[in-house]
Amino acid sequence: MAASTYGETVAEDKPKLEELEAALPAMTRWRVPGGRRVDWATLEAALGTALPSDFRALAEAYPVLAIDDFLAVSVPTPGTEALWASESRNDEILQDLYEMGDIEDYVPFPEPGGLISWASSNSGDSFYWKTSPADPDAWPVVVRTDNADWIEFPVGAVEFLAGVYGRTIDVPGMPRNFPGDDPQVLGLSDDTD
């Protein structure tokens, strides 16, 4: 499992995060000054894999984001990293789809190349990483639409979001008004009390 420090993550993926912020400027009001201090060592040990550096940069800069009351981007909350990892390892919806044979050639994580969820929509769309190849920074995004279509994109989560909201990536099967013309963003508090 590759380890990286917060500073390396931010420096390495700052351009990708800046592209997302340019495509979705309403998110910037939720940026956490000084970072959120996610315990990546705990999270990745509990999960059993490293996560992509662009996602780590996003999770250090922002809390959970709800975009246009449609898309929720799930990032770990400091202090609950093991819970986030456990929920990712035990994705009940994905496991049910797998058991019903409605997962095409994909498998749930922790199977080799298995899927890990990082976002969902309020209409039942799910956004995953396919954990193959071995380098998390090369993991593609896989979308399962509410129409049960599976679509793979050869980009990471932050680049995917920047492409969707910058209108350079089209996701077939999404609602007609996705993405909205002026997407609004709500940052959900890190308070765990």
Q: How do residues 53-100 score in pLDDT, each as one tens digit?
A: 999 999 999 999 999 989 999 999 999 999 999 998 888 889 888 998
Residue 13: the pLDDT is 54
pLDDT level of residue 101 (50, 70, 90 thresholds): confident
Q: Which of 11-15, 32-36, 117-121 has the lowest mean pLDDT?
A: 11-15
E-strand ranges in 38-140 read 65-67, 71-73, 115-121, 126-130
Instruction: Decide if pLDDT at 107 tops 50.
Output: yes
CB 130 within 8 A of CB 152: yes
User: pTM of the prediction?
Assistant: 0.88
Pairing relationship of beta strands 185-187 and 150-153 according to DSSP bridges? unpaired
CB 119 within 8 A of CB 157: yes
Residue 155: the pLDDT is 96
Query: Which token pair is 45?
Result: 């040990």
Residue 146: the pLDDT is 87
Q: How far apart are the C-alpha atoms of 64 and 166, rounded to whole Å?
A: 20
Instruction: Decide if pLDDT at 27 tops 90.
Output: yes
Instruction: Decide if pLDDT at 178 tops 90.
Output: no
Per-state percent for the chain, helix, strand, coil, to nearest 5: 35, 15, 50
Instruction: Decide if pLDDT at 4 tops 60.
Output: no
Instruction: Kindly state the average pLDDT of the residues 128-137.
Output: 96
Helix (H) or strand (E) holding 98: helix 92-100
Highest averaged pLDDT of the listed ranges 93-107, 116-130, 166-180: 116-130
